[in-house]
Amino acid sequence: MREHRLRHQPATTGHEVPTATAHLTELKLPAVGDYIVVAKRAAASLGLVVGFSVQEIDDLNIATTQQWGSGNGQLKLIFKSRPRRLEVEVRSVPPRAVEQQTVRRAQREAELDYETIGLNMIRLFVDELRYQVDNQTGTMRMRMVKYLIE
């Protein structure tokens, strides 16, 4: 059984003014291609809330879908909509992480070039990008920020 959850709540970090209109939306999806459209719809809808143009939403959609994997893992997308910007954090949770460490190391070496190309492509479509991979567990964490330019 696959789990799909969507949670939307005001986002606060303790450093923001409490009256700021910031919202946090979390979406958990299987890391398979059939679910890319769900992530794109969520990003597009939240981009409209922030006030992005169609071109900016397209850029965000391209960036959001570039790190999509294949297999039985899960992706957790965390959208933080704030005035004049949208932050998208993507976390991958691979299946049976501990069992697959040896296989993952071999795959990791083969995927390095593809990963570098993908990250460079994402950088073309967002204003900020942070990326890290935990080599022990195989989990990935990526944070992308797109600003509204007026």
HEC assignment per residue over the chain: CCCCEEEEEECCCCCCCCCCCCEEEEEEEECCHHHHHHHHHHHHHHHHHHCCCHHHHHHHHHHHHCCCCCCCCEEEEEEEEECCEEEEEEEEECCCCCCCHHHHHHHHHHHHHHHHHHHHHHHHHCCEEEEEECCCCCCEEEEEEEECCC
Per-residue model confidence (pLDDT) at position 107: 59
Per-residue confidence band for 110, with pLDDT thresholds at 50, 70 and 90? low
* Cα–Cα distance for residue pair 85/149, rounded to 1 Å: 9
Q: Name the more confident of 31 and 101.
A: 31
Does pTM top 0.85 for this prediction? no
Nearest to 63 by CA among 118, 13, 24, 19: 118
**How do residues 52-62 score in pLDDT, each as one tens digit?**
999 999 988 88
Q: Name the more confident of 112 and 12.
A: 112
* Cα–Cα distance for residue pair 34/127, rounded to 1 Å: 27
Amino acid at 62: I
* Cα–Cα distance for residue pair 69/119, rounded to 1 Å: 14
The answer, yes or no, to whether residue 26 has pLDDT greater than 80, is: yes
> Average pLDDT of 113-137?
82
Per the document, the length of the chain is 150
Per-residue confidence band for 8, with pLDDT thresholds at 50, 70 and 90? very low
Q: Which residues contact 126 (CB under 8 A, 6 or more apart)?
A: 59, 60, 63, 144, 145, 146
Among residues of the chain, what percentage have pLDDT more than 70?
Answer: 68
